[in-house]
């Protein structure tokens, strides 16, 4: 067995030090060598017929066979291209559907919060007006010490409920 010598290390590599690490994936700048090898069966049949035009029995048979395989290879190529295009469209539609679903979920959540806010707002307006009505009774009975805080509380509740209430434009 041939002995493989150790690899020497050059003292000065001459490298300029500007290189960066490439991706661990297959580098995108390396193009796939697929153009001629796409239909190896067709290439083989065409090659055989070109080398010997009677290789498949007779000249006519060879030509027919080459023409048939080339025709079906072309059909297959077009079908593959169509499939690729359809897959791309499916991907686009799937992305759009995902966007619409997430928007729908956000809007549903907003509708739910709108309903609970509306109940809270109605209760606040009711409680605020009740407290303001009560404070008037306190003032009429010379009970201002109770009337003022009740009036302040009722007013705050009324204003808060009024402004918290969601309007149609928010949705």
Partner 1 sequence: MIVSNIPELFLYPVEERGKPNQERIVILVNETINLGQYGIMVGYAGVNQSATPFQDNLFWFGNGVVNKGDWIMLFTGKGEPKSDIWLDAGTKIYSVHWGRDKTMFTNTNVVPMLFRIDAINVGIAPVDVPQLSIGKHA
Interface with partner 1 (CB under 8 A), residue from 1, 21, 163, 168: 21
Question: If binding means CB under 8 A, how many residues of this protein chain bind partner 1?
Answer: 27
- The first and second tokens of residue 78, run together, are 């077009």
Q: How far apart are CA 64 and CA 134, in angstroms?
A: 103
Residue with smaller CB distance to partner 1, 33 or 169: 33
Distance CA 121, CA 127 (A): 10
Q: Which two tokens stand for residue 147?
A: 């009337």
Q: What is the C-alpha to C-alpha distance for residues 58 and 62, in angstroms, rounded to an integer? A: 6
Mark 30-69 with x for binding to partner 1 (rule: CB under 8 A) and - for no binding.
Answer: xxxx------------------------------------
CB nearer to partner 1: give 19 or 171: 19
Task: State which of residues 1, 3, 17, 51 lies at the interface with partner 1 (CB under 8 A).
Answer: 17
Single residue of 3, 25, 142, 170 touching partner 1 by CB under 8 A? 25
Taking alpha carbons only, the member of 145, 127, 147, 152 closest to residue 137 is: 147
C-alpha–C-alpha distance, residues 171 and 167, integer Å: 8
Residues forming contacts to partner 1 in the complex (CB under 8 A) are 4-5, 7-8, 10-27, 29-33
């Amino acid at each position: 067995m041939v002995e493989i010598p150790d690899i020497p290390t050059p003292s000065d590599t001459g490298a300029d030090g500007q290189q960066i690490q490439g991706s661990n994936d297959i580098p995108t700048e390396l193009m796939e060598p697929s153009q001629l090898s796409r239909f190896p069966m067709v290439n083989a049949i065409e090659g055989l017929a070109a080398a010997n035009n009677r290789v498949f029995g007779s000249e006519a048979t060879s030509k027919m066979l080459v023409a048939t395989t080339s025709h079906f290879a072309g059909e297959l190529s077009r079908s593959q291209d169509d499939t690729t295009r359809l897959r791309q469209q499916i991907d686009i539609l799937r992305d759009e559907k995902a966007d619409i679903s997430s928007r729908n979920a956000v809007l549903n959540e907003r509708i739910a919060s709108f309903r609970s806010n509306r109940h809270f707002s109605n209760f606040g307006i009711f409680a605020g007006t009740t407290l303001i009505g009560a404070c008037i009774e306190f003032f009429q009975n010379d009970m201002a010490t109770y009337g003022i805080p009740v009036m302040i509380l009722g007013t705050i509740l009324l204003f808060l409920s009024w402004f918290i209430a969601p309007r149609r434009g928010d949705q």
